[in-house]
Every structure is written in C-alpha cells, then in structure tokens.
Structure 1
Amino acid sequence: MDLDLSFQLVEIKDINFSSRKRMFELMFSCYNKITEDTFNTDLNKKQYVGLIKDQDNMVQGFTTFAINPNSTNVSNYNVLFSGDTIIAPEYWGTQVMKYGWCKAVGSIIASDTTKPWYWYLLSKGHRTYMFLPLFFKDFFPSIEPSESESQLKKIASEISFKLYGDCWKEEEGVIRFKESQGELKQELIQASYQKKGSKFVQFFLKKNPAFYKGEELVCIARLHPDNFLRSAKDLVLDGMNQPLQLNI
C-alpha cells in the first residue's frame, strides 16, 4: 500500500485549487460543523503542508505546519504547531505519514539550531494523541510523567494563552472554543470508545472527556533527535541534513 503513496512538503501558497478542494473533502469526511471557508481561513494561517498523494496525484492525506504562529516563539524557544492531520480511511495504517512527517520536522528544526524547538499539538481525537507515544520518549501530557513535566506544562500554557486566550482552560489542559471549530463524526467518536483497551486511549479519554464536542487536548514535546524513539530518530536526522531556509 505504501508503494502507491508519496509525501511532499510544500508551501501553502503553492497548493493548487483542486488539492485544496480535495483536502476539504477529506476533512468533511471526518468532521461535522466545518465549512470550506473556515477550513481555508485556517489553512492560510499555516506555512507548510505535507501532502500524501497516490499514483494518480490525488491527495489522500495531509498534515499542516505553522512555525512560530502569532509570535509564540520567545527568546529561548521556537514553536512548531501541527494543525489538521487527516488520512483517507482506506489508507489508515500507512507508514508514509510517519516517514514524511519525521523528515519534514527534521528539515524545519535544522533551520534554527540556536534554540530548542517544541511541537505544539491539539488532539481532538485519540488517533492524533497516539502520535506522541509513537514518536517520543518524553511528552506532555503523559501516562508516565517525567522530570521535565513542569517545564513542558509551563511552555504549553504560554503557547495556548497566546493562541487561544480565554478559550484555553489551563486547569483542564484543553481548548474549549466558544463556537465549535469542528467535531468528529459519530463513527469516529465511537471508535475511540471501542479502543479503551489501549492504555493511551484510556488516558486520552480521561484527559479530554468532552472530545466529542470538539474540545482539544493541548499536547507538547521537545523536538530534538535525542527525544525521538529510535524508529523516528533516524528519519528526523535524515531530514536535518536538508534544512529549510526559514526567516525566524
């Protein structure tokens, strides 16, 4: 299946009309309460998108990136914000997103090695949260808190307040929007409850019990080769050999 797919990192401004339409179709297939206008408005706030395409050049998945959105970076760190991440259901299980994402992240963090990078992620569903234990040794929130938990929690709070203001509920660790920004389709909500046998899914449901209403769990991890699990680390290092040229 993976042989039929490719991952391409492109700038948002270079996405053509048909690809944008297809990206919205994929979003609409998984989420309620979204419109094409709001989707495009949000997309235009990002700088890059990783596109998964099939042999016919049809978009079958994507993940978006915003670098230091709303001046979230400060003197001592940079922020990589992952936005929407979608894969067409028939391609669930593909490794192309993993490989492409890790290499893309490596290219991005290599653009500025003068200060640390942090990955800021909003998890509206358990599938998104699962990226954390799949890729990282240390992250927040985690089933097994580490010595860096308080620092990660502090940085997550700083970023969340800058981006979302009063919608950031610090004590709960979630973003609760005044108006829905999209809610998972019912069948995907049920899929989360059906996977409660996984300790990570149980933890996600505990931390974000109102995920079915579109509430988002704030997550964060240090983007450094030493914090990646072995399977992802080599891919990140490969990406770091080809740094993007960014104005940061």
Structure 2
Amino acid sequence: MNSQLIRIEELSPLDVEEMFVLLSNHFQGVKRDVFNNDLDDKNWVILIKDEQTNELKGFSTLLMYDTCFEGETISIVFSGDTIVDPSAWSSSALSTSWISSINKLRWEYCKGRLYWLLISGGYRTYRFLPLFWQQFYPRYDTATPENILCLIQNLAVKRFGENYDIKTGVVRFAHPHILRDGLRGIPAERLQDPHIRFFQTLNPGHFDGDELVCSTEICEENLTRAGRRMWFARTNSVDQIPV
C-alpha cells in the first residue's frame, strides 16, 4: 500500500469521487452534500492506495486548527471521515501514515500543546488509542481527569453543538454514517478486550452510528512503543509518504 498526505484543495475530482464511493460502499446514510461539506471543513487528507493498481483503499480527512482553553492557546487535530476497505485491513498503512503525518504537520500548525479530537463510531477506531498512546480518555482503567474532561466537553460543544450529549459523551448526528451489514457490531471474542468492552458500554448506540468523543495529547512522551515506531517512520516529504 502507498500513502499520500495532501491538502484538501489539491484533491482531484477523481480523488473526491473515489472517496465518496468508498465511503458509500461501507456506510449507510452517506449523503453527497454532507460529504462535500465535511470535506470542505478539513484542510488535509491521507489517501491509501494499492501500490499495483493505484485503487483507493482508504482515506482519512483531517482538520488542524488552534483554539483557546482556560487561557492557553492549544492546537487540535480532528479526524473526519475515515474508512479502510477490508481488503486492506492487514496493512498498517493508515496508522503509520497518520502518526508520521501528524509528526510533520505539528511543526506547521502547532502554537501550543497538540491534542487529537477523535470520534469513535466503531471499536476498531477506538482501539487505535490504547495501541499507540499511553494516556487517552475516556478509558476503562481510570476516570477522566477533571481538566481533560472539561477540555473534551469544550471542544465537543464547539464542534458538534446540539448533536453532542454532554452527559454521555456521545455525538448523534442528524445523518449518521452506519456501517453496512457484515462490518458493524462487535464479535463476541473481541469483547474479551477490556478496552473494547468499555467502548461498547460507553457507546451502546454505535450500531446505529453514535460516536464516542475521545482525546489524547499528541507528543512523543505519550507514545507507546508501537506509536514511536510510526512517529519516527522514514518519509520523503510532507506530501508523499511511502509505507
């Protein structure tokens, strides 16, 4: 698999069409105007393509921005539409390029500490947090610190408005993306993982497209061993990242 990080405005019409088709093939409820508006709201996208056929196998849109919280300027990376075709699940292309891309982009955008604002509509997405980050929230083995909870709620209210339920920490969109049959739900054996079991407890409506709001600080000190390997992945440039 090859991975490419490019600015939203540099996407070709073909890229955009392939992204829409890929998302629609895996989710119910994908509307073209909602997809276009979401894309316009982002500033970067990671494309995952088959090295032999150049077929789009996955993508993740990103919004990098600054905000103020408790008198401090901080930077945020928000993950938008994200999908990887099951035929590419054995590849670490997306996770590798995501972390190494953020390591590069932070030098251009960050004016303070950098946080990842992530909404998890499926256990696979949530599982990225314990895999790559030492401290993240919410998590099963410790309560979310008050200052982090306030940060998450502050960011979620500003970004999702009335779609965000501050009591449950869950976002319910008017037009949710619901995984198609065969992709949604959690296999019974995966519930042996306490992280996945916790995700199901906090987001019981994930089957219907509910999204759990999560966050972690993005810094070298917070990386797991697996995260560090990807953080320092060799890259040629910010625009083209071979995996």
**1-structure distance, mates of 2:181, 2:238:** 40
Higher percent of residues as strand: 2
Aligned pairs for 1:16-27 within 5 A: 16-27=12-23
**1-structure distance, mates of 2:176, 2:41:** 15
Please name the residue that 2:231 is paired with.
236
Please name the residue that 2:92 is paired with.
95
Please name the residue that 1:111 is paired with.
108
Give, as a single letter, the amino acid of the residue that structure 2 aligns with 1:80: V
Q: In 2 relative to 1, CA 171–49 (structure 1 residues): closer, same or farther, beyond 3 Å? A: same
Q: Unaligned stretches of 5+ in structure 2?
A: none
Q: 1:165 aligns with which of 161, 165, 174?
A: 161
Give, as a single letter, the amino acid of the residue that structure 1 aligns with 2:27: Y
How far does residue 112 in structure 1 lie from its aligned partner after superposition?
Answer: 4.8
Indicate whether 1:141 and 2:138 are aligned: yes
- Structure 2 counterpart SS, 1:130: helix
Q: 2:147 aligns with which of 151, 174, 181?
A: 151
Please name the residue that 2:206 is paired with.
211
How far does residue 172 in structure 1 lie from its aligned partner after superposition?
Answer: 0.4
- Structure 1 counterpart SS, 2:95: helix
- RMSD of aligned alpha carbons: 2.3
Aligned pairs for 1:1-248 within 5 A: 5-54=1-50, 55-68=52-65, 72-74=67-69, 75-112=72-109, 114-145=111-142, 149-177=145-173, 179-192=174-187, 195-237=190-232
Q: In 2 relative to 1, CA 125–43 (structure 1 residues): closer, same or farther, beyond 3 Å? A: same
Q: How many residues align?
A: 236
**2-structure distance, mates of 1:238, 1:84:** 24
**2-structure distance, mates of 1:243, 1:28:** 28
**2-structure distance, mates of 1:155, 1:169:** 15
**2-structure distance, mates of 1:52, 1:18:** 14
- Structure 2 counterpart SS, 1:189: coil
Q: Higher mean Cα deviation, 214-223 or 54-63?
A: 54-63
**1-structure distance, mates of 2:134, 2:235:** 19
**2-structure distance, mates of 1:243, 1:59:** 19
Give, as a single letter, the amino acid of the residue that structure 2 aligns with 1:34: V
How far does residue 195 in structure 1 lie from its aligned partner after superposition?
Answer: 2.6
Give, as a single letter, the amino acid of the residue that structure 1 aligns with 2:137: F
CA contact (8 A) 1:77 1:116 kept: yes
Q: In 2 relative to 1, CA 161–243 (structure 1 residues): closer, same or farther, beyond 3 Å? A: same
CA contact (8 A) 1:117 1:223 kept: yes
Q: In 2 relative to 1, CA 65–138 (structure 1 residues): closer, same or farther, beyond 3 Å? A: same
**2-structure distance, mates of 1:217, 1:239:** 32
Measured against aligned partners, the alpha-carbon deviations of 1:194-223 in whole angstroms (never above 9, x if no partner) come to 632222221110010011221110000001
Q: Calculate the TM-score normalised by the size of structure 2.
A: 0.89
